[in-house]
Amino acid sequence: MQAVLLVGGEGTRLRPLTCKTVKAMVPILNRPFLEHLVSYLAQHGIDDIILTLCYLPDTIEKYFGDGSGFGVKLTYVMEESPLGTAGAVKNAERYLDDTFFVFNGDIFTDLDLKAMLSFHREQKAKATIALTPVDDPTAYGVVEMDSCPRVGRFVEKPKREEVTSNLINAGTYILERDVLTEIPPETRFMFEHHLFPTLLRNGSLICGYPSDAYWIDIGTPQKYCQVQYDLLQGKGRTSLYSRSRREEMSCGARSSIHPMAKVEGPVVIGDDCSIGPHVQLKGPAVIGNNCRILDGAIVERSILWSSVLVGKKACLEDCIVGNNSSIGEGSFVGEGSVIGENVTVTDGSRVEPAEKIWPDTEV
């Protein structure tokens, strides 16, 4: 079975985290997001994967190679300029043989793909769209059905008084190859605005596949944190963090925790980390590889990427800190703050709540 993964986006909503790191490679529990997705597909028998790339492609290719080390075959397709969701798939048409999946590159889910494929085939649909219920659909594309499971209309970001359904497009599709004839080549073309409405006008059967499976769009810092907290607390599933390891603390190779440190899980600590005396780690939290947290520091409900230094008696609350950044002694980083890569927060400084610090700067 084949799948196309749309991983060419710049991840602008995640900045400053994605200024130097492509969105597909941001760490989720210390493994690249894309690695979780590839593993998920392989578990469902999808081992022929096409990656559509545009922004910072070299990092992805260097990490994954031809995919053999991850149990799959990977093909890379470059876009010279962004072609939109459907345009990117059209650009990969020459590699597609038959029915295939498409996945938006910022969705984390544990949807049962085998069940969705069986449904698609039973319905003899040209396209099947995974649907997920949300409390507030006004920020999403709402999918209305004429008669379940037939899709009748798409409403993009409706006003609250216009909402007729809480089912939204979940960013996972199954398509028959011949629908690609409706997409013009080398043209910016979107599934939601262009292809699906065209198929409806032509009388093609588009089905909705509602599911209560775990689903989250990781495209904002808040949601990026939330997916990791959810996984640590057992609210979602990934094969790269098994249930048997969902304990109060997971500690990587060659990492040390001082006996006078206090760890309240769930916490994941990467490899080659040092947790000093009187440190307080309060989960859910993720500590990346090669991090050093010095005496008396407090790290609460936060995500630290690799090679982060947290100085003595510094305090981090519900924040994200990028690779190779340093938080000075006695400093404070407030709730919702996002610190990019290679940032120095000097001793005694204060990063206010919800503040964003761009890479290669000093506070």
Q: What is the DSSP string of 168-223?
A: EEEEEEEE-GGGGGGS-TTS---IIIIIHHHHHHTT--EEEEE--S-EEE--SHHH
148 with 7, same domain?
Answer: yes
pTM of the model: 0.91
* Bridge partners for 100 per DSSP: 2, 175
Q: Are residues 306 and 189 in the same domain?
A: no
Clarify whether residues 213 and 269 are in a common domain.
Answer: no
Do 36 and 140 fall into the same domain? yes
Q: Is 230 part of a structural domain of the chain?
A: no
Among candidate residues 169, 202, 217, the one where a domain is terminated: 217
We report the CATH number of the domain holding residue 272 as: 2.160.10.10
**pLDDT score at 247:** 61
Q: Return phi, psi of residue 144, to 5°.
A: -100, 140
Is there a single domain that holds both residue 185 and residue 280? Answer: no
Task: Please check whether residue 193 lies inside any domain of the structure.
Answer: yes
Based on the fold, state whether residues 106 and 213 are members of the same structural domain.
yes
In the chain, the amino acid numbered 34 is L
State the DSSP string of 289-350. Answer: TT-EE-TT-EEES-EE-TT-EE-TT-EEES-EE-TT-EE-TT-EE-TT-EE-TT-EE-TT-E
Residues with Cβ within 8 Å of 309's Cβ and at least 6 positions away in sequence, in order, are 291, 292, 294, 325, 326, 327
Number of C-beta neighbours around residue 359 at 10 A: 19
Active-site residue, 20 included: no
Domain identity same for 201 and 313: no
* Per-residue pLDDT at 76: 95
Q: CA-CA distance, 83 to 180, in Å (whole number)?
A: 14
Query: Which tens digits make up the pLDDT trace of 199-252?
Result: 989 899 999 999 999 999 998 999 999 999 999 988 888 888 864 444 678 889
Whether 206 and 265 share a structural domain: no
Average pLDDT per run of 10 along the chain, which is 363 residues long? 89 90 94 95 95 85 94 92 89 94 93 96 95 81 79 75 78 95 91 90 92 92 95 88 64 94 93 97 95 97 98 97 97 96 96 95 91
Same domain membership, residue 204 and residue 59: yes
Query: How many angstroms separate the CA atoms of 154 and 230, rounded?
Result: 30
Number of domains in the chain: 2
Expressed as residue numbers, the domain containing 107 is 2-217
Domain co-membership, 11 together with 149: yes
- The single residue of 73, 114, 157, 235 carrying the catalytic annotation is 157
Alpha-helical segments (H) within 101-168: 113-123
End-of-domain residue from the set 175, 201, 217: 217
Question: In the block, which residue shows the tokens 């610190």?
Answer: 339
Per-residue model confidence (pLDDT) at position 271: 96
Q: CA 46, CA 75: separation in Å to the nearest integer? A: 13
Task: Report the pLDDT value the prediction gives residue 79, as an integer from 0 to 100.
Answer: 84
Element (H, E) at 263: strand 262-264
In a shared domain, residues 171 and 255: no
Q: Give pLDDT, residue 242.
A: 64
Check whether residue 44 and residue 114 sit in a common domain. Answer: yes
